[in-house]
Amino acid sequence: MTPDSFHSRSTLDTPLGPLTIHRLDAVPGSEALPFAHKVVLENLLRHEDGETVTADDVRRLVEGGAPDLAFHASRVFLHDTNGVPVLTDLAALREAVVGHGLDAAAIDAVVPAQLTVDHSVAADHVARPDAPLLNVRREYERNAERYRFLKWGEQAFDRLAVVPPGAGIMHQINIERLADVVTVRDGAAFPDTVAGTDSHTTMVNGLGVLGWGVGGIEAEAAMLGQPVSLLLPPVVGVELVGDLRPGVTATDLVLTLTERLRALGVVGSFVEFFGAGVAATSVATRCTIANMSPEFGSTSAVFPIDAATIAYLRLTGRDPDHVAVVEAYARAQGLWHDPAARPRYDRTVVVDLDEVRPSLAGPRRPQDRHDLAGTPVAAAAAIAELAPPDLAPHAEGAAGPQHGAVAIAAITSCTNTSNPAVMVAAGLLARNAVERGLVAAPWVKTSLAPGSKVVTDYLERSGLLPALEKLGFGLVGYGCMTCIGNSGALLPDVERAVRADGLVAASVTSGNRNFDGRINNDVALNFLASPPLVVAYALAGSVAVDLTAEPLGHDEQGRPVHLADVWPSEAEIAEVVAGALEPAMFTDAYATLFDGDDNWRGLDAPTGPVFPWDEDSTYLQRPPFLDVPAGTDRIADLHGARVLAVLGDSVTTDHICPAGRVPTESAAGRFLTARGVAPRDLNTYASRRGNWQVMLRGGFANPRLRERGEALGERPADEQLAAVAERHRAAGTPLVVLAGKEYGTGSSRDWAAKVTALLGVRVVLAESFERIHRGNLVGMGVLPLQLLEGDTVASLGLSGDEEISVTGLEVPAAPGAPDARRLAERVQVEAVDAASGRRTRFEALVRVDTAREEAYLRAGGLLPYVLAQVLRDAR
């Protein structure tokens, strides 16, 4: 039994019987808290133990402080490309504890974990009826070894459940089936909370479920029963007012919110939506907004529970008794939305929905929003930077692809395929375009990759799928596909024009990320748009076309057809959605969620508690992260470090650790082909994350990284970085990375931190960090230091040729206790130019934000910390 200092333990009568709850109103002042902080408060009350969670933690939260909290997620959510390295780490931990004479079961999942295989299928085949079958066949040819490993993990770890390939995208599956909003477990009811290894875990916030993206390193800790350590985020309240204008989609709204909230500065905050406009916002639109929380920069973007939440649970076929529990619990705990309430937000902002306009974002960042008419201007500016002078820009009536040609138009990603309104709008636009005789431009690779099978069910039921197929938007599979970079090769003529002639090609996708090199290595300009606009740009064939003024094409009589001529009305969209969706579609689609197809069931996977590593495997190798000497303390002053890379602003995890295909000519490609891997089977970096040797060679190897760097240390070419790092490691020389603002933005990619550590980097010194990557660095034993306000790498005159020293890392833990030491809040940095001897001295902030993070850093990373804890407990 927990201490229950506030006497919050109580009983709630429900259709499932009496359930134990921890009442929030037992804590004076809790009624003023925002929804997100109320969920955190319940978590603290339920896990109070006097050590990890104390009564003082509860008081500080309610009193408006910013305590260092231990948050226990009720479940962990993984996908295959992050899940495989998580399992390789856990398998290595099991091997280590067995090597110390302990039972392998000492390493097991303490909380339920669900892993969805959705990031590996690629759009190799498109615009043909058998494309899904062919793409799945190639998926298993490439990934069968990884999938066998996942099947081993499912039988080895008690609380791990795997959703096999082909079911859809993890986040859409989460909202349509896995999320229960209020969890009932072991006779108790409590809020469903999620720690997910994808930054878009926040999509479930649209259902009133508090969850956010964590690195794979943090997910491993959560699975093993360790709390997620965080400073309580402030809450930014966003009041929605007004109504969207006709022709404005949920995607336009979310791109506008992304632009505005990124500019406002919500990094590290909970964003919470409130006010009368919440009730007018559908759950599908809420989830579209919440999905883009990492693009805002926020930790989460949560909507409270209300009648729309309950209606959505009923629509998606949830058990009626459980739905009744959700409503009863939310009302009893003050988690039910009151439009008139004004909780205690740290900041508030008003968003008038009437001001939102049709939009795209790009060509490189999700927050770079443009009105539809402004997209050609943005494209022209980017083309001017990249284009060779001998290739003409777009000209109306041009016969072939010009600069700005749309090489990829993909309806993909959970962000928008979870929203029936925008998917039906795309289908209706396609139907209207087909009726006018329009076709997609011949150089566009088109595809439809929904987030769940329900999408194709309602598109078929409404009669819209044939029109999409006629324009090339036929089903290619159920998975992230193009959004994660599994776009497959461009059409041959376009690929040739890019590589031989320098064509600056574009993609238009309904995804959530458009960072350099993410969608396809050969596509320089990448724009995010609603599904109907994706179809429109496939027809127009170029992002240099102004769709508000220029035609999409011409009908059989040669008359111009404009976007306004084929755009469906709001009434028609609503009518089709209302008639096409029913609960049985969801219950049927998810009845066999964990069963898999014949391909999955036919995989012969190893069994037993310890995984049998194969030294010749090019996919799975035992990671070296536990090869840290016992008693290691990594908090020590640093002397004589050299700079591996000097980087600019907005360096993403895609730059640090690519996810897309492995180029044949890359260091990783050469490493694999030397081991007998055929060029067509190189697969993606994301699929190779179970092999640290491949990832080491892919570190900082994104070809577009040079656009983000002022200098790249001593390496004259990307592929030489691993060799340079090895030379320094052999000499015992620690390495440093220097960077600008928003370092490590992007997906919650633990490998971006892992490869940094493998290369021998001990310190990353940046102007600011993305939240997840900062935590991942600490989890790998790498020290994140932040420049003081006003300092930059350039203003300090740092070139990358210096020797770096970092001193003052430890200070006395308390006055009069000289033997007890703790990590300092600031350190002194000295950079000595190797050639001139010039010395530059400055201070930097230590970005190790919690006591638990300090413990991880001292141990050399989370894995050595966990191993030491298990061994200590076994003594």
At position 853, the amino acid (one-letter code) is: E
3-class secondary-structure state, position 416: helix
d(CA 568, CA 532): 9
pLDDT value at residue 631: 65
pLDDT value at residue 817: 61
d(CA 65, CA 27): 15
d(CA 376, CA 408): 17
E strand segments, 135-269? 160-163, 182-185, 188-191, 193-196, 210-213, 228-231, 235-241
503, 508, 512, 518 alpha-carbon torsion, rounded to 10° = -20
DSSP string, 163-187: E-TTSB-HHHHIIIII--SEEEETT
User: One fold for both 75-355 and 362-389+399-590?
Assistant: yes
Helix-then-strand count for the chain, H and E: 31, 33
**Exposure of 68 by Cβ count < 10 A (0-12 exposed, 13-18 middle, 19+ buried)?**
middle
pLDDT value at residue 729: 82
Convert the pLDDT of each residue in 85-134 to its tens digit: 999 999 999 999 999 999 999 999 999 999 999 988 989 999 999 999 99
pLDDT value at residue 399: 81
pLDDT value at residue 719: 42
**Exposure of 338 by Cβ count < 10 A (0-12 exposed, 13-18 middle, 19+ buried)?**
exposed
pLDDT value at residue 518: 83
The H-or-E segment that residue 693 falls in is: helix 692-698
At position 639, the amino acid (one-letter code) is: H
d(CA 426, CA 468): 8
pLDDT value at residue 712: 45
pLDDT value at residue 715: 44
User: What is the residue whose two structure tokens read 């591996």?
Assistant: 644
d(CA 473, CA 640): 57
Q: What is the CATH number of domain 75-355?
A: 3.30.499.10
3-class secondary-structure state, position 254: helix
Handedness of CA 536, 542, 545, 546 (dihedral sign): positive
**Tokens of residue 223, six digits:** 């699975």
Residue 813 φ/ψ, nearest 5 degrees: -65, -35
pLDDT value at residue 717: 46
3-class secondary-structure state, position 349: strand
Q: CB under 8 Å to 406, separation ≥6 — which residues?
A: 441, 443, 444, 505, 506, 507, 508, 537, 538, 540, 541, 542, 543
3-class secondary-structure state, position 346: coil
CA angle 49, 53, 59 (to 5 degrees): 115
d(CA 585, CA 138): 28
d(CA 698, CA 611): 25
Contact of 482 with 509, CB cutoff 8 Å? yes
pLDDT value at residue 285: 97
Contact of 734 with 758, CB cutoff 8 Å? no
The residues facing 241 across adjacent strands are 352
All residue ranges of the chain with pLDDT < 50 are 394, 396-397, 710-719
HEC-encoded secondary structure of 799-860? CCCEEEEEECCEEECCCCCCCCEEECCEEEEEEEECCCCCEEEEEEEECCCCHHHHHHHHHC
Round the CA-based radius of gyration of the chain to a whole number and report it: 26
**Residue 676, CB-side half-sphere exposure with 13 Å CA sphere:** 4
d(CA 31, CA 780): 39
d(CA 700, CA 751): 11
d(CA 81, CA 685): 9
- How many angstroms separate the Cα of 286 from the Cα of each of 243, 299, 302, 312, 450? 14, 16, 8, 11, 18
CATH ID of 638-658+699-851, from 3.20.20.10, 3.20.19.10, 3.40.50.1000, 3.90.580.10: 3.20.19.10
Q: Is the peptide bond before 363 cis (omega within 30 degrees of 0)?
A: yes
**Which long-range contacts does 549-558 make (Cβ < 8 Å, 24+ apart)?**
549/373, 550/396, 552/433, 552/438, 553/438, 553/439, 555/436, 555/437, 555/438, 556/437
- How many angstroms separate the Cα of 403 from the Cα of each of 317, 376, 563, 651? 48, 11, 22, 26
Q: CATH topology for 362-389+399-590? A: Aconitase; domain 3 (3.30.499)
Q: CB under 8 Å to 802, separation ≥6 — which residues?
A: 643, 831, 832, 833, 834, 840
Domain residue extents for the chain: 75-355, 362-389+399-590, 638-658+699-851
